[in-house]
C-alpha cells in the first residue's frame, strides 16, 4: 500500500478505525513554522460529528504532537501527530459480510483475510482526522504567506448554496465552520434533507466547492504534475469523493469556445483573466486567479435498509442491514478534510517552486 503523499513535503497516514491510535507524520517542513495547538483543535472540531445529522460515535480527538515541535515552532524534524481512538464498538462489525459501498471486499482480497475489518479499518474516514490535524499547521503557514484555502457545501441532496464569488474574505469566513455555507438560510433545508434520509434508514450525498486564493501565476508542472492532477490525486484519497471538476468543469463540454474562454486584461500592472471558467488553471499551471474546484461526495454507504451482499467466509449470497454508528450524510464533515488535503498539495507545490524554506514565517 502507498500511505505517503508529497514531493518536497511528504505526509504519511497510519492507523485503523478501531486501533489504539491514528496519526500522521509530515516530513520536509522547515524549522520555524508556528504550531498553535488551539488551531489544530479547532480544525478537528470542524470535522467532528454534530447532533442528529451525524454518527453517534463521539471521539474527543485529544491529539498529541509527538515530535517535530520545540518551543511552539517546528524544529526541522518530522512532525508527528497522534490521535487516540476512544469511542469504539468493535462488536458491531463482522469479518465475513461485505458491506455494499465499502472497501470490505477489496480489502479482503488485497490483504488475504488479515485485514483489520473493524469500522472499515485503515480504509475508514476516521483516518482523515489525522490529516486534518497535521495539515492545520500547513494551512496556518500558508495563511501567513497570503494563501487562503476554503470550502463550502455547494449542495446536499437537492438543496443548493450560492457559488463562490472568488474573494479571499469570503473564503476566510468559512474557516473551521462545521457546516460551511455562504448562504446561511440554506442550512435548515439541508439539515432537513439529511434528517429525512435518516428517518428512511438511508443517506444522502452532495457537492463541495473549494477555492484557493493567493497562489501566484505559473505554479504547476505539466505534463504529469499539473495543478489539477496533483489536487485530484490527493482529493481522491478521501473516502467518499467520487468526482472532481475545475472551473466550469463538465459544463464546458456544452459551451462554445467564445463562451468558455477567459479573456485577459491588465489590472494594477498584472495580467489577469476577466472571468474564471478555467478555475484558475491553464495548461496545468496557475493563472493567479483563484483555483476553484468542486468535489462530489457520495451518500454514506452504510444504511439501515437491507442490501444484497456476500458472506466472504462462506462464499454465499446473503442480505445485511447496517449495524454500528454511521452518518446519514458526511458532506459537511468532508469539507475540513478537503481543506486539509488542498493545503498540503498547495504547500508542496509552492515549496518545490520557491524552495524548502518558503513556509517559514
Q: Which domains does the chain have, with CATH numbers?
A: 4-354 (3.60.150.10)
- DSSP alpha helix (H) spans, the chain: 37-47, 104-111, 128-144, 168-172, 187-199, 227-235, 257-260, 331-354
As a whole number, mean pLDDT of residues 325-349 equals 95
For residue 87, pLDDT beyond 70: no
What is the model's pLDDT at position 92? 64
* Model pLDDT for residues 151-198, shown as the tens digit of each residue: 999 999 999 999 998 789 999 999 999 999 999 999 999 999 999 999
Pairing of strands 148-156, 69-70: unpaired
What is the model's pLDDT at position 60? 84
Own/partner long-range contacts of 141-145 (Cβ < 8 Å, ≥24 apart) = 141/33, 141/34, 141/347, 141/359, 141/361, 142/214, 142/343, 142/346, 142/347, 142/350, 142/359, 144/34, 144/361, 145/214, 145/350, 145/358, 145/359
Of 203, 200, 191, nearest to 302 by C-alpha is 203
For residue 297, list its beta bridge partners.
206, 241
pTM above 0.85, yes or no: yes
Q: Which three cell numbers stand for residue 11?
A: 505526509
- Give the C-alpha distances (Å, rounded to integers) separating 64 from 249, 292, 333: 40, 33, 22
| Phi-psi region at 91: left, alpha or beta (left = phi > 0; alpha = psi -120 to 50) | alpha
* Model pLDDT for residues 32-62, shown as the tens digit of each residue: 999 999 999 999 999 987 777 876 566 788 9
- Residue 350's pLDDT band (boundaries 50, 70, 90)? very high
What is the model's pLDDT at position 52? 75
Sequence-separated (6 or more) residues with CB below 8 Å from residue 21: 15, 82, 83, 84, 85
Q: How far apart are CA 150 and CA 165, in angstroms?
A: 12
* Model pLDDT for residues 2-22, shown as the tens digit of each residue: 999 999 999 999 999 888 999
Q: How far apart are CA 102 and CA 113, in angstroms?
A: 16
For residue 244, list its beta bridge partners.
295
8 Å CB contact between 73 and 34: yes
Amino acid at each position: 500500500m502507498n500511505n505517503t503523499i508529497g514531493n518536497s513535503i511528504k505526509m504519511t497516514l497510519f492507523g485503523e478505525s478501531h486501533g489504539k491510535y491514528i496519526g500522521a507524520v509530515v516530513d520536509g517542513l522547515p524549522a520555524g513554522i508556528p504550531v498553535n495547538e488551539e488551531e489544530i483543535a479547532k480544525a478537528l472540531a470542524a470535522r467532528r460529528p454534530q447532533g442528529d445529522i451525524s454518527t453517534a460515535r463521539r471521539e474527543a480527538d485529544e491529539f498529541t504532537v509527538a515530535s517535530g515541535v520545540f518551543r511552539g515552532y517546528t524544529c526541522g524534524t518530522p512532525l508527528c501527530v497522534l490521535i487516540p481512538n476512544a469511542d469504539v464498538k468493535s462488536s458491531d462489525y463482522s469479518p465475513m459480510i461485505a458491506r455494499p459501498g465499502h472497501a470490505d471486499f477489496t480489502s479482503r482480497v488485497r490483504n488475504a483475510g488479515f485485514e483489520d475489518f473493524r469500522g472499515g479499518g485503515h480504509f475508514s474516514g476516521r483516518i482523515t482526522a489525522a490529516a486534518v490535524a497535521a495539515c492545520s499547521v500547513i494551512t496556518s503557514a500558508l495563511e501567513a504567506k497570503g494563501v487562503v484555502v476554503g470550502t463550502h457545501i455547494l449542495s446536499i441532496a437537492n438543496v443548493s448554496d450560492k457559488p463562490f464569488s472568488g474573494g479571499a474574505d469570503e473564503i476566510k469566513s468559512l474557516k473551521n465552520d462545521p457546516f460551511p455555507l455562504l448562504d446561511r438560510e440554506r442550512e435548515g433545508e439541508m439539515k432537513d434533507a439529511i434528517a429525512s434520509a435518516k428517518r428512511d434508514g438511508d443517506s444522502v450525498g452532495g457537492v463541495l466547492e473549494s477555492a484557493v486564493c493567493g497562489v501566484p501565476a505559473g505554479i504547476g508542472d505539466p505534463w504529469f504534475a499539473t495543478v489539477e492532477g496533483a489536487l485530484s490525486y490527493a482529493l481522491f484519497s478521501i473516502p467518499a469523493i467520487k468526482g472532481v471538476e475545475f472551473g466550469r468543469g463538465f459544463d464546458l463540454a456544452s459551451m462554445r469556445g467564445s463562451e468558455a474562454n477567459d479573456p485577459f486584461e491588465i489590472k494594477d500592472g498584472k495580467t489577469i483573466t476577466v472571468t474564471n471558467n478555467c478555475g484558475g488553471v491553464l495548461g496545468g499551471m496557475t493563472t493567479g486567479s483563484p483555483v476553484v474546484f468542486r468535489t462530489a461526495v457520495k451518500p454514506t454507504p452504510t444504511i439501515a435498509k437491507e442490501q444484497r451482499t456476500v458472506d466472504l467466509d462462506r462464499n454465499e449470497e446473503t442480505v445485511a442491514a447496517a449495524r454500528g454508528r454511521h452518518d446519514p450524510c458526511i458532506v459537511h464533515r468532508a469539507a475540513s478534510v478537503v481543506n486539509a488535503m488542498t493545503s498540503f498539495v498547495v504547500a508542496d507545490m509552492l515549496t518545490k517552486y520557491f524552495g524548502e524554506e518558503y513556509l517559514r514565517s
